[in-house]
Amino acid sequence: MLVRKMLRDMKKNLVQFISIFIMAFLASFVFSGINAEWYGMQTEADCFYQKTNLADIWVNGSGFNKEDVNKVKRLDSVTDASLRFNLDFPVYSDNDKTLSINVIEDNTLSVPKVIKGSALNTSEDGIWLDYSYAKSNNLDVGDQIQVDIPGRMFKKNILGLILHPEYVYSSNDSGSFMPQHDNYGFGFLYSSSLPEDFDIQYNQLLISIDHDANEEDISRKLENMFSDRFILVIDRDSHLSTSSFNNEVEQNKAMGSVFPVVFFLIAALSILTTMTRITNSQRTQIGTLKALGFSKNKILIHYVSYGLWIGLIGGLLGLLIGPLVIPPILFTMQKSIYTLPNWTTTLSPISFLIVALLALSCGLSNYIACRGQLKEVPAAALRPKAPRSNVHSRIEKSKLWSNLSFAIQWNLRDIIRSRIRSLMAIIGVLGCTALLIFGLGLRDTVNNVSNWMYKDLNVYEEKINLDPNASKKDIATLASSYSGQWIQESSIELKLKVNKENGFLTVLDIGDEIQFEDVERNRISLPDKGIGISYKMAELLNAKTGDIIEWRIYGHKDWIGSEISVVYRTPMGQGIMINKDEYESLGQSFNPTSLLTSEILDKDISLKAVESIQNKNNLMNNFNELLESTRMIIVILVFGAIVLGSVVLYNLGALSFTERIRELATLKVLGFHRKQIRSLLSMQNIWLAILGILLGVPIGYWLIEFMLSTMPASLDMRAIISKTSVFISVLGTFTLSVTVNLLLSRNINGIDMVSALKSVE
């Protein structure tokens, strides 16, 4: 009987319950969808790392040997160590293509995963090639490939195609963010397959450690052990591939967590408001059920089940559909950036917890709504409820009240007496505005980074990268052919007191192809003395102007101290910049790595000194492709905001109309015209919409700041919201509110005056 009663009540209040269902569905749909995407990526990567025994620490240096391996293995918490030679070399058939060659002696740490071909075997003479590189260059098992190692030319048969845990994300160019699988790949071969007279200078140590080991202690021990040479200790948090992948997961996790909060709150408030009205109107029915012998707990469970079922069904449906719809959309872009053996959607336990919380929050709202009615004894509940004493609020007692128009008085009184409904309207509009600001503002922020980096700061058109083995004569020929600014770029370590970071050094010759801006985006110049440090790097090191920081180029043992003269801001390439003269005054030799020019170059340029050419437009396109997954989430956010605003405002409008139908009928009897009544209803909605919009704009901005806080250390992005985006968000929300109000106000014509005004007895 109670089940039939519940279904009948839901049918009578269909609009309200559908809106609650949609809120629960959307909260679960978006959260579980994005959660299944990033959790699936993380699960697959962790499985890949475990199966291939990915190293925990990499030590880059020079001259490592088996004795060094044995020393490392004797350290506490170290479980294994191995040698490796790693260096990038051009492919003989096409110097524009590069292979990262890895020469190994054993097969215990960071083991390649063979996709096609023979398994790794020390007795095999050949190379195991990057699967993505081979696919992009139409290579297959059995083909031959030639690698140009200075002084030697190696021709090897391709024994297998592989994936590798250290190359889930791979790029050999700091200026290009999208992997170029057709131009860059990796290969593995055993030292036994190299000529006996080839002197292998191992430059990497791969180390695995216990799970509970202290990486900082091990790093200090390694630096002390190899204090006679330069070494660079890298852990998984700072490794290019693992850190880039982890940052992507964290960004998607942050986006997925922000979205459901508003829907949670709206669903709970919606059912609280709806059930409060239902239980108040069913006071006599509750008394009858008590008189018939139904216990208080059974009646309580009956009313609580309204919210439990709606929240549970909506949550489960969202949990079912979200992972089927959202991950494939996001995976399309992720696959072009990251390389994993499999791409699967995986539901995390927290997704099921969200569904449970949805059901419980809706059920709790029902409990709060009906507990008051259940306290009364049957005799009292069977009598009509005494009219609520309308105590005048402070504003009604003030002198200002008498000066207000009837319309303002009527709406203010209704807002004060219907606080929960009014609060829900404000939160609904706030959520709609905040999500629109968040989505459109994030789009503006992302678009601004590309223009900021490649139009405001880097004003060159082409970047000519030099061949590291180019002679001075070849460089002089290039200099006479094209004008521009010479720069030297190097990877460096920086430290200030206990803080240590990895970054980039850029040494600038005379020219103006690179511009500088301070923290407030004002144009500045790089000083002749001292160094300039990027704002993000200064934050990471806790450094400021006037501090002395130490830095050294990878491969150099000695540290150099320099005073920070200026802090500049750049979205990418965090580190330091220094003038050529200042750099040479520190005892360093300027060795240019690139020429920046504003000239448009011939694509078929064939000067010996040129290794590659980067066109600025291509760099911008690559960066925009990298952020495409972010844009897909933005589309979801904007769509969700529109649905949220529409459902909440329509639900509240219908609820408000139902609750005030007696008052509206009274106004019609008193001679108010239809337009006047519609104006009364519109006034309150406009007030609440404006208040929600005013609160939603700053909250939307805060959401963007929160999202940017999850960006990797190499990126410095400022929250940028254009006036157009703010205008669209505000106007869109306001228009939505007015449109819903106009649709609902048409119900005034259908008010049945007799039934609306008849006595409640």
**pLDDT, average across residues 577-599:** 90
Query: Rounded distance, CA 715 to CA 721, Å?
Result: 18
Whether the per-residue pLDDT at 349 is higher than 90: the answer is no
Under 8 Å between Cβ of 676 and 759? no
Query: Rounded distance, CA 513 to CA 456, Å?
Result: 10
- In this structure, the dihedral spanned by the alpha carbons of residues 204, 208, 212 and 218, taken in order and rounded to 10 degrees, is -30
pLDDT digits (tens, 9 = 90+) for 131-155: 999 998 899 998 888 876 655 777 8
User: Which comes out higher in pLDDT, residue 723 or 404?
Assistant: 723
Query: Rounded distance, CA 260 to CA 267, Å?
Result: 10
Domain spans in the chain, listed from the N-terminal domain onward: 1-47+239-386, 55-235, 455-618
**φ and ψ at 751, to 5 degrees?**
-70, 125
Under 8 Å between Cβ of 411 and 680? yes
Query: pTM, whole model, 2 decimals?
Result: 0.76
**pLDDT, average across residues 102-125:** 88
**φ and ψ at 548, to 5 degrees?**
-100, 115
Whether the per-residue pLDDT at 668 is higher than 60: the answer is yes
Whether the per-residue pLDDT at 697 is higher than 70: the answer is yes
What's the pLDDT band for 31 if we cut at 50, 70, 90?
Answer: confident
What's the pLDDT band for 284 if we cut at 50, 70, 90?
Answer: confident
User: What are the C-alpha distances in Å from 731 to residues 233, 681, 727?
Assistant: 53, 20, 6
Query: Rounded distance, CA 418 to CA 467, Å?
Result: 74
**pLDDT, average across residues 495-499:** 87
503 membership: H or E segment, kind and range: strand 499-508
Structure tokens at 75: 């350290």
Whether the per-residue pLDDT at 632 is higher than 90: the answer is no
Dihedral sign for Cα atoms in the order 722, 29, 623, 507: positive
Whether the per-residue pLDDT at 530 is higher than 50: the answer is yes
The predicted pLDDT at position 416 comes to 76
Whether the per-residue pLDDT at 2 is higher than 90: the answer is no
Closest CA to 352 of 310, 322, 307: 322
Structure tokens at 474: 């070849």
The predicted pLDDT at position 109 comes to 92
What's the pLDDT band for 761 if we cut at 50, 70, 90?
Answer: very low
Under 8 Å between Cβ of 732 and 740? no
User: What are the C-alpha distances in Å from 690 to residues 257, 406, 657, 687, 741?
Assistant: 27, 21, 20, 5, 14
Helix (H, G, I), strand (E, B) or coil at 585: helix
What's the pLDDT band for 754 if we cut at 50, 70, 90?
Answer: low
What's the pLDDT band for 749 if we cut at 50, 70, 90?
Answer: low
The predicted pLDDT at position 209 comes to 92
User: What is the percent of the chain where pLDDT is above 70?
Assistant: 83
Average pLDDT, the chain: 81
Question: Three-state SS across 219-276?
Answer: HHHHHHHCCCCCCEEEECCCCHHHHHHHHHHHHHHHHHHHHHHHHHHHHHHHHHHHHH
Under 8 Å between Cβ of 200 and 66? no
Closest CA to 377 of 485, 291, 495, 492: 291
**pLDDT, average across residues 639-653:** 73
Under 8 Å between Cβ of 248 and 338? yes
> What is 373-384 written as a DSSP string?
HHTS-HHHHHSP
**pLDDT, average across residues 259-273:** 68
